[in-house]
Amino acid sequence: MSDVTHEIKLWHELATVIRKALHPERSDAFVVYFTLGEQISSTLPIDKQWQLYLSQLHLLLSTIEDQNVPAHWRRMCFECVHRPLLSLKQISKEYVHGAQIRDLYISVNQQLNTAFTQTPF
């Protein structure tokens, strides 16, 4: 198994750990998840990087909205939302991506407002 394939497999496993809060005492999972994401991203073309960072963002947002996940874990996800957003902004060199970034920021803001209104954490 190549190093990149192994990293991708581990990255997906960490996504599951984060999404389901399988180890809520292990906040270091976020650091490893984002570090691996950066390593994988550096091997990908821009369109695949875009998809990777979008998947990170959606993972965090869906976890924040999940009331079955411990509140401290949801807060950790909230504190990390800026990471994929900044990465997306950095790679958005085309107008289409610029418009998508703006729309993403609006959508994220709305989702977070809804999450906080429904169940503050």
What pLDDT, on a 0 to 100 scale, did the predictor assign at position 37?
97
Residue 51's nearest CA partner among 95, 3, 88, 80 is: 88
Distance CA(107)–CA(29), nearest Å, equals: 26
Distance CA(55)–CA(48), nearest Å, equals: 11
Residue pointed to by tokens 């490893």: 32
Distance CA(53)–CA(87), nearest Å, equals: 7
What pLDDT, on a 0 to 100 scale, did the predictor assign at position 55?
97
pLDDT digits (tens, 9 = 90+) for 87-121: 998 888 755 667 788 888 888 888 888 887 877 66
